[in-house]
Amino acid sequence: MKIYQVDAFTTSVFEGNPAAVVPLDHWFDDSILQSIAAENNLAETAFIVPSDESWELRWFTPTAEVALCGHATLAAAHVLVKHQGCLTNPLVFETRQSGKLSVERLEDGSLSMSFPAIPIVECDYKNDVSKALGATPESVLFGRYSPDQIDYVAIFKSEESVYALNPDFTKFSNLDSRGVIATAPGTSYDFVSRYFAPNFGIDEDPVTGSAHCLLTPYWSQILDKQKMRARQISRRGGDLACSMDKSDRVLLAGHTVDYLVGEIYF
């Protein structure tokens, strides 16, 4: 099987978030998909299977299947356009837990994803989230991707506070979530974030598209802006153009660049 590794939300290799993409002509047993993702040992491996005029899409971390993933969706669209000669625009992906997703090619060469806008509400997990992050946020909220997958969102006053976080990953086992998003207003960007998901095998994700399904509607309301520039300030870092599309969708756009093309044998 062919395998592609793509750096998403960046124009430079070794930056952004690397994702593996494995095109299939039919679905294999879930244990094989999970083994491939574990072997890749990347934050996400995306598997795509053609279906009429769309593609079925699933995402796996090294330890589990997830309900929604942005950077691996961006990478999957990149592979279809650049390596498989797909001329369809927009591309349509059918997912098991997040419904229909579409990706459109833009004139500047970036790809824009239409994802569900996920509302976030305050919760009473501030103490546990603070212990996990090693710092106390102004407030803690949460958003639900699926019946069994949520993220906590920790709101901080400044970009410097988010950058300085040094989480205790052993404390995340006390949280019933996929991960924790730490976010704050930005200096050069509208807002910044970091994302930690050790419960799903990812201590810190470099750039997390799905997290911006929660962050975009939140910061749009706080900043009173429909279009925003966001930066995930991980070690690799990545840029996203975020905007609200009506009340129930967000548009997340970014660039992609190839790292490798290879073959899988098993």
Reported as a single tens digit per residue, the pLDDT across 111-160 is 999 999 999 999 989 999 999 999 999 999 999 998 889 999 999 999 99
| Continuous segment of H or E residues that includes residue 18 | strand 17-23
| 239/171 same-domain check | yes
Of residues 51, 62, 149, 36, the one with CA closest to residue 98: 149
Question: Which residues are catalytic, by number?
Answer: 44
pTM over 0.85: yes
| 63/175 same-domain check | no
Q: What is the average pLDDT value for the chain, to the nearest integer?
A: 95
- What's residue 250's pLDDT? 96
Quickly tell me which residue has 């899988």 as its tokens: 264
The whole domain housing 243 covers 121-250
CATH of the domain at 89: 3.10.310.10
Reported as a single tens digit per residue, the pLDDT across 28-48 is 999 999 999 999 999 999 999
- What's residue 246's pLDDT? 79
Domain tally, the chain:
2
| 17/89 same-domain check | yes
| pLDDT(256) > 90 | yes
Summarize the confidence of residues 54-75 as an average pLDDT.
Answer: 95
Of residues 236, 244, 250, the one with CA closest to residue 11: 236
Could you give the CA distance from residue 232 to residue 98 in angstroms, rounded to a whole number? 23
| 216/234 same-domain check | yes
| pLDDT(106) > 80 | yes
- What's residue 53's pLDDT? 86
| 164/238 same-domain check | yes
| pLDDT(89) > 90 | yes
- What's residue 104's pLDDT? 96
Q: pLDDT-derived band of residue 266, with 50, 70 and 90 as boundaries? A: confident
The DSSP code for 247 is: T
